[in-house]
Amino acid sequence: MDNTGLVQGWADNPGGLGPLYPFAGWEVAITIVCVAAWLLWTIWQARFENATYRRQAQELQRAGSLTRAVLKEDGQKQDAT
């Protein structure tokens, strides 16, 4: 294989040309890969986010942590004012 696209030149009638993108004919396979990527991304995000919240909640439950965090927020507000 010495090329990936159907268009090797522009000398012919441009209006008669079809797909300009490479790997024409592989659209179904590319779609499957992309749908899988989207689903995996969503699953990864859900797991990552749930784990992060779990860890943060545990840390904040330690004595005084939550109070410090909330007071820090108040301090930021005062600074901004």
Partner 1 sequence: MNTDIGALTTIFTEFYYFVCVVLMFFIHVGFCLYEVGVSREKNKMHTLMKNAMLIPLVTVTFFFFGWWIYFACVNGPGITGGLKDARWAWPWSEVMGAHMGGKLADGTLTLPADAAIWVRTNGVFWGCFALFSCTAGSILSGAVIERIRTWVLWIFTVLVGSVTWVLAAAWGWSPDGWMVKLLGYHDAYAAGVIHALCGAACVGMLIPLGARVGRFKRDGTPRVFPPRNTWLVVIGLFLIYAGFWGFYASCNIPIVDVDPSKERVVFSATTIYGTPTTLSAVTFNFLLALCGGLLAGYLASKGDAYWAFSGGLAGVIATSPGNDLYHPLQAFLIGGFVVYCLYRFHYWMERKFKIDDAVGAVAVHGVGGFLGLIVSGFVLWGSASSSGATPRVTPWGQAAGALICLALGFLPVFFLTLLFKKLGVLRIPLEVELAGLDHGELSAEQEQVRDLVTVELETVRQRPL
| Residues found near partner 1 in the complex (CB under 8 A) | 6, 13-21, 24-25, 27-28, 30-31, 34-35, 38, 42, 45-46, 49-50, 52-54, 56-57, 60-61, 66, 69-70, 72-73, 76-77, 80
Distances (CA, A) of 20 to 10, 13, 16, 76: 11, 14, 11, 54
Q: What is the distance between the alpha carbons of residues 46 and 38, in angstroms, rounded to a whole number?
A: 12
Q: What is the distance between the alpha carbons of residues 65 and 4, in angstroms, rounded to a whole number?
A: 58
CB of 4 vs partner 1, minimal distance in Å: 14
CB of 1 vs partner 1, minimal distance in Å: 17
Q: Which is nearer to partner 1, 2 or 73 (CB)?
A: 73
